[in-house]
Amino acid sequence: MRRRLLLPALVLVLGCSAAPKAPPAASRGLVREGTPDAVNLALARAKEKKQFFTWQSFSPETFARARAERKFILLDGAASWCHWCHVMDETTYLDERVGRLLHEKFVAIRVDIDERPDIGERYADWGWPATILLSPDAEEIGKYRGYLPPDELLPILEAIAQADAESGEKSPDPARIVPAPEALPWIAARVSIDMDRYFDREQGSWGDFQKSPLGANVQFELRRAAHGDALALRRAVFTLEKQRAILDPVWGGIYQYSAGSTWTEPHYEKLMPYQAANLEAYAAAHKAAGRKDLLEDARGIARYLSTFLSNAEGGFLVSQDADVGAHEEGKPFIDGDVYYRLDDAGRRKLGIPRIDEHVYAYENGLAIAAMCTLFEASGDKDALARAERAAALVMASHVGQGGAVEHDAKNRSPVHYLADAAGFGRALVRLFEVTQNATYRDTALRIAETMEKTLLDEATGAYFAHTKDPSAVGVFARRERPFVSNTQAARFLAGLGRITGDQAFFTRAKRTLVAIGSPRGVAEQGRMVGEFLLALDEAGVFPWPGAR
């Protein structure tokens, strides 16, 4: 579904639905042999095509240049693990027509969305890759979801190139409808009912356009089961059984999603948020149902994290690519659909898909919390030791004395992100709960205090995505209050309430949930509301019914 946005002297086409845009020549999500995209990809590599433009950094200097030269901006939101990002690099951005036009008429900026979580959250509904078109003053004028072949991107760029650079419209900050605090129990009940409507009785999980392993939804079902809901337990276990089809049987870990309405068309990226959420889900389901097979599934994900998504110092890493050869010039490209069907020896013979070796506070927080859940469910001391080792590393390298949390300790920035504070802070709460080590609690309290001082939007009660960035321009100078990171912040604050007994933390968690709990904000999450429901439960506002 698409709509048209009319600008002076310019017509752009924008994606408007929450569902990902299906690539026109490969609706299965893979470059299949014989398709036009596979041919283009092969030709690009065979001819060693030249890229006719240069990617610029996301920096004040780059935006200043665009403003001074009155050039429109193409912002490419990409990730190192992203299959379709690689395909677009090798086809669309090596197309001479596209390349020359970008060189002459545009400033092209590339952002790694794992390095910049604020940009990742801002455009999460549009990628990946996400193609964002901006005026010379960095105001949004068009957003496009997913892979764009050359013949689809080119006419868009040509239309912009012919327009007056002064005609870009500014995007106003929309007014928010914020519910009253007493509405939270009603919101909790309403959202849980809405989540039920997405449940797929044939394939498990929620939604049927794509099958996604929504670990937080499963975890919420297990909370329901703990309150006597036998149907919720059956839904949770059924989902975990069905999604085994996208667990890697060789190395462990879970793939990002299945492109079709069943679990048989996986996208092979392995991202830490999916690993952690599903590790927690399988471990908690074992504890609830007493199923050893579910525990083995959890242990398989944990082994993958320790074997592949870990470094020698004990830090957890970010992601593993879907394909081989996407980042190395001169090496053959091997599609994940071919690669991940091989056994261990066959895979290693062809090489290891690229692993993003950054150590980010956010991803480490997710992994640490998941390992704590595995320890609680199984008593596996190696899981707890692995969590504590990562926590010690991140506390030493990422957390300042004042409680500010760096995203990347090796590439420090004056800007700090809510996701890092909330994600790692919650991990420290979970470590305190399983170890009673006061160091974890005290560090978490410092982080929460700094989060309150530097990120709270007092006008709404929500937290900004990041601290003030004096170099930001245009739309990026207007800080957002992202739903997902605020949900994690609420869980962090509620956790502090649990371990300290201080009711003020529960009050702050509820304040945050009220701020993001508008009908529009919740509706935009679609089926992915499990963590919001977990936050409502942990804040103490969920109106648990009796057994249904």
Looking at residue 28, what is its pLDDT?
28
Output 422 or 184, whichever has higher pLDDT: 422
pLDDT band at 520 (very low <50, low <70, confident <90, very high): confident
**Bridge partners of residue 7, in order along the sequence:** 10
Output 403 or 208, whichever has higher pLDDT: 403
Stated as kind and residue range, the H or E segment containing 15 is strand 10-15
Choose the most confident range, by mean pLDDT, from 140-144, 148-152, 496-500, 523-527. 496-500
Parallel, antiparallel, or unpaired for β 106-112 and 72-78? parallel
Please count the other Cβ atoms lying within 10 Å of the Cβ belonging to residue 187. Answer: 21
Measured between alpha carbons, how far is 420 from 1 in angstroms, rounded to an integer? 34
pLDDT higher than threshold 70 for residue 34: no
pLDDT higher than threshold 70 for residue 10: no
pLDDT band at 179 (very low <50, low <70, confident <90, very high): low
Looking at residue 30, what is its pLDDT?
41
Measured between alpha carbons, how far is 528 from 125 in angstroms, rounded to an integer? 12
Domain with CATH 1.50.10.10 in the chain: 185-318+357-538
Looking at residue 420, what is its pLDDT?
98
Q: What is the mean pLDDT of residues 217-230?
A: 95
* Torsion angles phi and psi, residue 74, rounded to 5: -105, 120
Measured between alpha carbons, how far is 170 from 180 in angstroms, rounded to an integer? 31
Report yes or no: 276 and 367 within 8 Å, Cβ to Cβ.
yes
Parallel, antiparallel, or unpaired for β 140-145 and 257-258? unpaired
Does a cis peptide bond (omega within 30 degrees of 0) precede residue 129?
yes
Q: What is the dihedral of CA 121, 127, 129, 134, to 10 degrees?
A: -70
Measured between alpha carbons, how far is 405 from 407 in angstroms, rounded to an integer? 6
Looking at residue 128, what is its pLDDT?
85
pLDDT higher than threshold 80 for residue 415: yes
pLDDT digits 0-9 by tens, 429-483: 999 999 999 999 999 999 999 999 999 999 999 999 999 998 998 989 999 999 9
Measured CA angle at 122 (ends 391, 513), to 5 deg = 70
Q: What is the mean pLDDT of residues 272-300?
A: 97
Closest by CA to 233, choosing from 241, 243, 242, 223, is 223
* Torsion angles phi and psi, residue 131, rounded to 5: -110, 110
pLDDT band at 181 (very low <50, low <70, confident <90, very high): low
Residue 46: CB partners within 8 Å, gap ≥ 6?
A: none
Stated as kind and residue range, the H or E segment containing 174 is none
Output 157 or 495, whichever has higher pLDDT: 495
Looking at residue 186, what is its pLDDT?
79
Report yes or no: 427 and 360 within 8 Å, Cβ to Cβ.
no
Chain mean pLDDT for the chain: 86
pLDDT higher than threshold 70 for residue 33: no
Q: What is the mean pLDDT of residues 96-110?
A: 93
Looking at residue 90, what is its pLDDT?
87
Looking at residue 509, what is its pLDDT?
97
pLDDT band at 26 (very low <50, low <70, confident <90, very high): very low
Looking at residue 11, what is its pLDDT?
28
Report yes or no: 14 and 143 within 8 Å, Cβ to Cβ.
yes
pLDDT higher than threshold 80 for residue 99: yes
CATH topology of domain 2-167: Glutaredoxin (3.40.30)
pLDDT higher than threshold 80 for residue 7: no
Measured between alpha carbons, how far is 61 from 250 in angstroms, rounded to an integer? 46
pLDDT higher than threshold 50 for residue 548: no
Looking at residue 107, what is its pLDDT?
95
pLDDT digits 0-9 by tens, 352-378: 999 999 999 999 999 999 999 999 999
Measured between alpha carbons, how far is 455 from 418 in angstroms, rounded to an integer? 7
pLDDT higher than threshold 90 for residue 546: no
Looking at residue 131, what is its pLDDT?
93
Indicate the SS3 state at residue 498.
helix
Report the Cα–Cα distance between both ends of the chain, in Å, rounded. 38
Question: Residues 423-461, buried b or exposed e (16+ Cβ, 10 A)?
Answer: bbbbbbbbbbebbeeeebbebbbbbbebbbebbbeeebb
- With pLDDT > 90 as the criterion, what percentage of the chain qualifies? 66
Closest by CA to 392, choosing from 355, 424, 358, is 424
Residue range 185-318+357-538 in CATH 1.50.10.10: yes
Eight-class DSSP state of 123: T
Please count the other Cβ atoms lying within 10 Å of the Cβ belonging to residue 124. Answer: 16
Residue 42: CB partners within 8 Å, gap ≥ 6?
A: none
Looking at residue 518, what is its pLDDT?
81
pLDDT band at 163 (very low <50, low <70, confident <90, very high): low
Looking at residue 522, what is its pLDDT?
87
Looking at residue 159, what is its pLDDT?
77
Closest by CA to 212, choosing from 457, 461, 526, 492, is 526
Measured between alpha carbons, how far is 101 from 82 in angstroms, rounded to an integer? 25
Domain with CATH 3.40.30.10 in the chain: 2-167
pLDDT band at 208 (very low <50, low <70, confident <90, very high): confident
Give just the sign of the alpha carbon dihedral 195, 201, 202, 205. positive
Please count the other Cβ atoms lying within 10 Å of the Cβ belonging to residue 376. Answer: 18
pLDDT digits 0-9 by tens, 65-97: 999 998 999 999 998 888 889 889 989 999 999
Give just the sign of the alpha carbon dihedral 300, 206, 288, 543. positive
pLDDT band at 187 (very low <50, low <70, confident <90, very high): confident
- With pLDDT > 70 as the criterion, what percentage of the chain qualifies? 87
Among the residue ranges 32-36, 439-443, 501-505, the one predicted with the least confidence is 32-36
Looking at residue 540, what is its pLDDT?
93
Q: What is the mean pLDDT of residues 398-414?
A: 94
pLDDT band at 21 (very low <50, low <70, confident <90, very high): very low
pLDDT band at 20 (very low <50, low <70, confident <90, very high): very low
Looking at residue 391, what is its pLDDT?
98
pLDDT digits 0-9 by tens, 321-347: 999 987 777 788 898 999 999 999 999
For residue 150, which amino acid is it? P
Looking at residue 184, what is its pLDDT?
86
Report yes or no: 391 and 368 within 8 Å, Cβ to Cβ.
yes
